Chains A and B, each alone.
Chain A
Amino acid sequence: MRHELQGCCGGFTRSEAIRDALAAGRRRSVREWDPRMPVPAGTGIDRRRFLAGAAGGLLSVYGAGRIGLSSRLLGEGIAEAAALQGPASPVLVSVFLAGGIDALSVLAPVGDPLYAKLRPTLAVPASAGLPFTEDPRLHWHPSATSFAELHNAGKVTVFPGIGYSSPDMSHFTSRHYWEVGATETRLATGWLGRYLDVAGSPTNPLQGLSMDGEMNPTLATARNPVAAIDRPEDFSLWLNGVWGEVFTWTLDSASALGDGQRRSADPALAQVAQAASEVGILRRALAPFRDANGNAAYTSPVSYPKSSQGDFPQRLAGLAAMLAAGLPLRCVAMTTDTQFDTHSAQEQMFDSGLTVVADSIAAFQADLEARGIADRVLVHVWSEFGRRAQENGSAGTDHGAAGVSLLVGTRASGQMVGGWPGLTNLDANGNQEANVDFRAVYCSLIEQWFGDDAGAVIPEASGFVRPQLIR
């Protein structure tokens, strides 16, 4: 029995057991059944034949180096995108803390007398956690010490009261607003997806990479391809009784079947076909990241935390390796393993969940710095809302309005935006009101980070005052 999860109202993420089982299953997926089937997916026994017969103009990455693989070995679309982008092109990593993380615990107003009244059992003690240097009333939650240290080093821009007016307290509606970059329920493309439709490539699915093992709605495009994986080494395909070049041709054929119908007028056929088609590109691009046993074929220059909740730290490690290898990623989105919908058992959720999130992002930052690519990457940490100021009596908090968001990176301004909204001006439902609109932040990121026009991506962009976020 997983007591620490009993208070959740929606499991947004997958359990440790499933992750473990998945990993175990994948390990099993390299079969002993047929001794003549030792080659990993997407390679092929006979390299000459494979290269000669590769479909769709794509080239094999078989035999390419581990990290630092050359772009000439990638699929043409990817190679072209990598060449166009150049080594300094900016990358935005969206990290979603699902469930609505409690801003009043992440940055606890230990110096505010109202706090103890509103949170008789849940108030973070003044002795715990490092002070938030930009506002002495606030202390970082002890689980967020890694964020505090990054902030002290000038690498975190904090939004202590972010949200939007007329807040919606539904997880799904509010999360949808953040994902699509508008307070609009019917918009079907994500804000990063629309950015990629405007500024991306029609041939490079890696430009928008979900690392949730499923598509992340933030990246949903109308036109240009995007892709979903878990860790890069997890992406493999195999069959019993089919191996060697016949297996390679089989995979080529599966992708060709997708290529043939990806523009079908029938949306269901097109959905399957697009995925099949893009799998063909991905399996070539990701083959160098996986060894013959299905394990990571890359190493990390720093150590990542271990998590009992899933593989969030390892997904970040895989991302750093892909970025270092020069894969043409532009927008990456992932969801943490823990969700923060703390209707009850809030403290346990923070202790276990937030520690892993903060330590993992700090490790990722150190990894990027060690590889010399930190100036290219910005991490955007967000949640769909904050929580009710008054605790609910089940050692938890109900859905609120304004929440907390962070930008992490060497080029983040390091200057808080909007200030802390305080506890005296709560809205009619007892929630903190937002003083920064998330869409203004999106506009700033598109313009200041990517150097493109936010007007083509965010509805009514001209109405938002852009905070300066990048140094």
Chain B
Amino acid sequence: MAHQSLADAETDGARPRTLTMPALDPSPIAVFTGPFTEVHATRLLWRAGFGPRPGQARALAALGLEGAVASLTRPAGAARLIGRPPHGADGRPLDPINVWGDDHCWWLDRMVRSDLQLVERMTLIWHSWFATSIEASNAQLMLGQNRMMRARALGNFHDLLIEVTRDPAMLLWLSGTSNTKYSPNENYAREVMELFTLGADRGAYTQHDVHEQARALTGFRNDWSNSGPTNFRFDPSLHDDGMKQIFGHRGRFSWRDTCRLCVEHPLHPSFVVAKLWGYFVGTPASARDARGLAKTYVRSGFEIRPLLEAILRHPLFYDGPRMVIPPIVYTAGLLRAQELTITTDDWAWIGEEAGQRLFDPPNVAGWDYTHWLDTSRWAGRFTTVTYALQDRVLNPNAKSYPMGENASHALEKALGYWGDPPLSAQTRANLLAFSRRAGQGITADWEQVTYRILRQNALRALIPTTPDWQTC
């Protein structure tokens, strides 16, 4: 079994990675100039990673803005997985290839434990950008794609597009191996332009371009064995090598030309900039900033890292409106904040309920990062909290509990449990009102101990369900 973590070092976390601070290039756009505090570092860790571990925001803040960003964008060496390896509910090791749901849990574990947080976060972004679903292939091919995207997470977009175009899971998902010169299939041809590189309704391409791109993309094939799809390859005898006309250019174009023509299209840089920006900042870039980023992108030869280093330093990243934390980031963050790792395979169905089942995006357009919540998804996040706390729940049947813990003590203790997250005054007041109400509920003798424990458990659950916590 090809396993991503072979190259990674397992560690107990006793020796944290030394934070090196290579100098960043000057940003082509505005840079945040205010004091870089723990609050800013916390936002950076939620948006460019999977939330802070205890003490991590303070350590990152001490590096200053440039150092903090560089520690994420210029990691040295292979990922280290910190903490206890994952296992299923019965203690069995995860088997992501063969057991339903373990693929989800396996990647969630990396989000929780990897010390290359931005690499993992960008892998998640590419998964949504080039959204491919396990429903068209299998876990082995999906994990192969995942490994490919992780290796190129901060790399070159053109290289990534080439690898995506010939990726077996993608070839199945968007009919690449059904597309032959005898029977062209437009599936990938349309989506590579609409969703991956150029965007719909911008005048970037016509139906004629879709048709001709489909011809250029012909020639991939695979076999089917008893164990599923196998032997993916390019077969020249199935490729249409005739003349094509794409974006006004004429030539005997191939699938590599499809990729090249897309990234060289004049409307490609602005598409990449707007889409990448949208994953990190809750309000669109100004036209001027977008142009600056696009210029940098083209000059670098389609490199992603310079864009990230500019976006993660931009004032709007820190001053701009809050963003809803995606469900899988929310889940990983709850575990990271408690220094817990994966101890149940329930995370797979919980991910679906909360609106983000890894390797199974809702459609080829990926997840909608602007609409994570509705009543059903909110309930899924509540379930996420329930499971994230299950190993740490205080037993209400305990014989004793500190009887001096009044309503405000209880709230302070619960906030301390989560590392004193920044909450609005209104939210604190609401939580305190609950704490008082639970205290007033104590009437019978047996409730003196039990209700205090119920209250503490409840407060620990309520804090991460607040709108303050679910956004960053």
Contacts and interface: CB of A to CB of B under 8 A. Distances in A.
Given A250-B434, A282-B375, A242 B363 contact: no
A227 B375 contact: yes
B467 A273 contact: yes
B387 to A, nearest CB: 9
Contacts of A242: 454, 457-458, 461
A200 interface: no
Contacts of B465: 254, 257, 276
Interface residues of B, number: 95
Interface string B259-276: 000000000000000000
A260 B175 contact: no
Interface in A18-51: 18, 21-22, 24-25, 28-29, 34, 36, 49
B355 A214 contact: yes
Nearest to A169: B207
A275 B377 contact: yes
A249 B375 contact: no
Given A5-B136, A246-B454, A343-B185, A14 B379 contact: no
Given A246-B438, A253-B433, A278 B375 contact: yes
Nearest to B365: A172
Given A257-B427, A344-B178, A11 B194 contact: no
B454 A11 contact: no
B282, B349, B375, B393 pick with most chain A CB within 10 angstroms: B375
Interface string A250-284: 10111011101100101111011111101100100
A187 interface: no
A240 B389 contact: yes
Given A5-B135, A261-B426, A399 B190 contact: yes
B462 A257 contact: yes
B363 A266 contact: no
A245 B441 contact: yes
Given A257-B430, A268-B324, A275-B377, A7 B461 contact: no
A250 B458 contact: yes
A294 interface: no
Contacts of A168: 200
B321 A14 contact: no
Contacts of B101: 21
A243 to B, nearest CB: 7
B173 A266 contact: no
B462 A272 contact: no
Given A239-B458, A241-B454, A250-B458, A22 B365 contact: no
A18 B352 contact: yes
Interface in B163-187: 172-175, 178-180, 182-187
Interface stretch (A136-144, A388-396, A402-410, A414-422): A388-396
Contacts of B174: 9
A8 B364 CA distance: 10
Contact of A253 (B365, B431, B457): B431
B349 A279 contact: no
A241 B393 contact: yes
B22 to A, nearest CB: 33
A168 B458 CA distance: 51
A15 interface: yes
A169 B190 contact: yes
A53 B389 CA distance: 27
A53 B437 contact: yes
B466 interface: yes
Contact of B467 (A36, A173, A258): A258
A228 interface: yes
B453 interface: yes
Contacts of A266: 321-322, 471
B348, B363, B433 pick with most chain A CB within 10 angstroms: B363
A22 B349 contact: yes
A246 B453 CA distance: 10
A9 B173 contact: yes
Interface string A197-214: 000000001000010011
Contacts of B364: 9-10, 171
Interface stretch (B67-75, B111-119, B300-308, B366-374): B366-374
A394 B183 contact: yes
Interface string B188-229: 001100110000110000010010000000000000100111
Interface string A92-112: 000000100000000000000
Given A29-B383, A228-B377, A399-B186, A264 B467 contact: yes
A274 B136 CA distance: 35
A69 B210 CA distance: 55
Contact of B323 (A2, A28, A268, A273): A268
Nearest to A24: B349
Contacts of A468: none
Contact of A1 (B180, B210, B228, B438): B228
A257 B458 CA distance: 14
A396 B178 contact: yes
B106 to A, nearest CB: 16
A238 interface: yes
Given A6-B172, A249-B437, A249-B441, A276 B457 contact: no
B346 A28 contact: yes
A170, A215, A268 pick with most chain B CB within 10 angstroms: A268
A254 B372 CA distance: 18
A464 interface: no
Contacts of B393: 240-241
B178 A22 contact: no
Contacts of A62: none
A25 B349 contact: yes
A168 B322 CA distance: 34
B88 to A, nearest CB: 13
A6, A22, A393 pick with most chain B CB within 10 angstroms: A6
Given A343-B175, A394-B185, A268 B207 contact: no
Contact of A14 (B352, B375, B434, B455): B352
Interface string A139-175: 0000000000000000000000000000011111100
Contacts of A245: 441
A36 B446 CA distance: 13
Interface in B275-312: 282
B467 A269 contact: yes
A260 B395 CA distance: 31
A53 B418 CA distance: 28
Nearest to B350: A25
Nearest to B389: A240
A9 B210 CA distance: 15
B408 interface: no
Contacts of A393: 180, 182-185
A398 B467 contact: no
B462 A253 contact: yes
A343 B187 contact: yes
Interface string B358-399: 001111110000011111111100110110011001111100
Nearest to A18: B352
B467 A257 contact: yes
B357 interface: yes
Given A278-B375, A343-B178, A344-B178, 15 more contacts: A11-B362, A14-B360, A170-B190, A171-B363, A210-B374, A230-B376, A235-B379, A244-B454, A246-B458, A249-B437, A257-B431, A257-B466, A267-B282, A268-B321, A275-B373
In order of increasing CB-CB distance, the 5 nearest A-B pairs are A393-B183, A253-B434, A25-B349, A275-B378, A394-B178
27 contacts: A1-B229, A5-B136, A9-B191, A9-B364, A21-B348, A25-B353, A34-B396, A49-B441, A172-B200, A214-B376, A215-B376, A239-B458, A239-B461, A240-B457, A247-B454, A252-B434, A254-B465, A257-B462, A257-B465, A257-B466, A260-B426, A268-B322, A271-B372, A279-B379, A393-B182, A393-B185, A398-B186
